[in-house]
Amino acid sequence: MDKERINLENKEKTPNPEKAVLNYVAFSLIWSLGANIHEDSRILFGEYFRIEMRKHMEDFPDSDVYEYGLDTNRHQLESWSEQISDFKFDPERSFFEILVPTSDTAKYKFLLNTLMYNSFNVLFIGETGVGKSVITNDFLMTAHDNFVSASVNFSGKTTSNNLQSAFEDKLEERRKNLLGPPSGKKMIFFIDDINMPQKEKYGAQPPIELLR
């Protein structure tokens, strides 16, 4: 979301700026406080959240709060299912790189885009096979020209030295003890299977400690 698209002073695009602000506040609360709640508690959170929001917005959606995102052109809450992009089959891409758009991919791609383009780190968690890697790779393939990216796959044998080498190999030496991406670019490192490194004697996972 860039500055031009969230200009609430544009009366033509935003006839009701107060309601637009409430929509952004509601979305932010759902995907900050609500995003860190265990799945078993999300129904309770959603019910409480709807009651509180209806004190300020009579037309707040009556269904699952997690199924609503933002239309940033109209500054309105809109179902993720209404934001599914068109699918275009690319025969040049491998089967494992194909991403068929769904309400879930629309949801996570929106969150990933918004956070990454505003310089926040992102951690996707979920069961194996739900599409975390595919969604992230799809974002990296279509990222803005100002970004360059590199992928690092963790395994049970990954060490902190492996991680350090991976970082150093992908960055340019600016001067002694200073590495960075190509001039004018931002570097995105995609760490896949971040939970995989084996624990050491005292329970730490050195590659993850290095990331911290």
Give the pLDDT band of residue 175 (cuts 50, 70, 90).
confident
CB hemisphere CA count around 133 (13 angstroms): 13
Return the structure tokens found at 43.
């129904």
Is residue 2 predicted with pLDDT exceeding 60?
no
Secondary structure of the chain in the HEC alphabet? CCCCCCCCCCCCCCCCHHHHHHHHHHHHHHCCCHHHCCHHHHHHHHHHHHHHHCCCCCCCCCCCHHHEEEECCCCEEEEHHHHCCCCCCCCCCCHHHCCCCCHHHHHHHHHHHHHHCCCCCCCCCCCCCCCHHHHHHHHHHCCCCCEEEEEEECCCCCCHHHHHHHHHHHCEEEECCEEECCCCCEEEEEEECCCCCCCCCCCCCHHHHHHC
Q: What is the pTM of this model?
A: 0.79
Distances (CA, A) of 108 to 67, 116, 125, 156: 11, 12, 11, 27
Average model confidence (pLDDT) for the chain? 87
> Among the ranges 2-16, 63-77, 121-135, which has the highest mean pLDDT value?
63-77
Is residue 80 predicted with pLDDT exceeding 70?
yes
Ranges of each domain in the chain:
1-83
- pLDDT 10s digits, 150-165: 999 999 999 999 999 9
pLDDT of residue 1: 46
